[in-house]
Homo-oligomer: A and B are copies of this chain.
């Protein structure tokens, strides 16, 4: 089965006795081409089994209609929501998504950004790896005027718009809630403090404690990678504490749930002995018993918004002016894990 030759606009041109330029314009619905000619072109294209060659078009136009996406992991509830949102918007606008994951390592993030650069994506949507400290690997894009937009795990840069939620405020609210429910000794389990999301939530937590004159000590803060495994370790650590906390605010749901379950297994009553709060509103938060108090966070919306902002830049060919931060709303969702009284 020899794959038959590809039909080009030249073939169509020849068969209609017109020029390739006219065919090109006709297919693009250029106003300068007469109705009749257009119809003949479209008919011939269909007849002959023409397929548009975006490779050639890309080369000539120096654009790819492709958006690069770099995220820490694809398979987290939040990220897959965000990507689903991006895909919808991008698809609608005629863009493709090239997706890669850094697996939380700077090395892969750098490699991926280089691939994206060589593949000449028109723009980039990025959520940073756990310990990316500088973003020099994105400078090449910035220098060329290729928009780089950060979402969720961001880096402040004058040329990079970013989209976040108010992590400080969310951390503050949830801590305040735990205090209102009677917590005095409130622990916080957080991630790498060089990442905005975690340091901001921590800051909110600290400020809430301070506002209510509650003391903070290093013993109350655990920093890890917020995996389920580390949730269990955290539980062990809590069990070994002389003075146990009355409440725990964990910076993501996965870790919070694992920790809760382990504590339950060891006979701790939640929320009676220790109340819990997480972050993200993953599906498991609604399922664990008691249901987990958490911050709801619109992944899909964030993805859509990021894609929209990028595409707006691309279609209007905007200079990336002094960068713009978009703050999306979030909601404290109070569930049984943090309410001492039965609802």
Instruction: Give A residues with C-beta under 8 Å from B.
Output: 1, 3, 51-56, 58-59, 62, 64, 66, 73-77, 79-81, 83-84, 87-88, 91, 96-101, 103, 112, 115, 117-120, 140, 143-145, 254, 257, 261, 282-284, 287-289, 299-300, 319
Contact = CB atoms under 8 A, between A and B. Distances in A.
Within the oligomer, what is the number of copies of this chain?
Answer: 2
A83 B87 contact: no
Given A73-B84, A75-B80, A99-B87, A53 B288 contact: no
B59 A87 contact: no
Nearest to A140: B51
A96 B77 contact: no
B55 A62 contact: yes
Contact of A100 (B51, B91, B115, B261): B91
A287 B254 CA distance: 10
A88 B100 CA distance: 8
Contact of A145 (B3, B54, B319): B3
B3 A120 contact: no
Given A55-B62, A80-B80, A287-B288, A96 B119 contact: yes
A118 B284 contact: no
15 contacts: A3-B144, A51-B117, A55-B58, A55-B62, A58-B58, A58-B59, A66-B98, A74-B83, A75-B81, A75-B83, A87-B101, A91-B115, A96-B119, A287-B287, A287-B288
Given A1-B145, A75-B77, A75-B80, A54 B120 contact: yes
A99 B98 CA distance: 7
A77 B54 CA distance: 33
Given A1-B145, A51-B117, A91-B112, 18 more contacts: A3-B144, A51-B118, A53-B59, A53-B120, A54-B118, A54-B120, A55-B58, A55-B64, A58-B59, A74-B87, A75-B81, A80-B80, A83-B99, A97-B99, A254-B283, A284-B284, A284-B287, A287-B287
